[in-house]
Amino acid sequence: MYALLFLIFVVAVLGVLYVFENQRLSTRQQQVASLQADLDVVNTQIAQLKPFETLQSQRATMTQTASAIVDSRVVWSSIFEEISLLIPDTVRLDGLTAATPATMLAGSQLAGAPAGSAAGADITFSGTAVSHKDVADFMTRLGLMPQLINIQLVSAQKGAASSTSGGGTSETTQTVVTFQITAQLRPFEAPPPLTAAAAPAGTANQTSGQ
């Protein structure tokens, strides 16, 4: 009799434990399902924001490229100003021609190529001086400019030049040296950025009469 009662008690306890564990398992499954639903919502939101991430990345790349283009441009106004301060009193410039080499142009296929890859001078000076020494002095001063390299004397010929004075009533003749000097721009430390379309060669021309 007691054994039967004990068996019934054990079965009842096991039944209660089964119901309790079943309810707890059901609760856990519901929590897992809820978390999975929240995760699906988050993944959907991430997928919707993905295009904006791509746009942000493209914007950052474009900003860096624009900054690099600005940093790699040749500031001719500053170069011309420095040249004007270096011309000796005994030297007169009749012409100055300048062009940005393709190796220093952003977007050019030659951008970043070693110096001298593009043949020809970047800046050409033409003018007159009192003597050959004055021409040499001018070249020495140009050599002080950090933007210029490979300063070369193309020609320097001494000859007579006529000038008028006194309202054009008298004419005098003096000996001058007619010269032509070329120079190249020093390449940038960092190569200009490449773009889809190559930019046209930029040129600048100036004539002075100092």
Residues 22-41 pLDDT 10s: 888 888 888 888 888 888 88
pTM of the prediction? 0.56
Q: State the Cα angle at 127 between 125 and 131, rounded to 5°.
A: 115
**Least confident stretch, 15-24, 57-66, 104-113, 156-165:** 104-113
Q: What is the mean pLDDT of the chain?
A: 77
Residues 6+ apart with CB under 8 A from 178: 126, 127, 128, 155, 156, 157, 158, 159
Short-list 28, 73, 27, 92, CA closest to 190:
73
Identify which has the larger pLDDT, 140 or 39.
Answer: 140
Residue ranges of domains in the chain? 1-71, 75-195+202-206
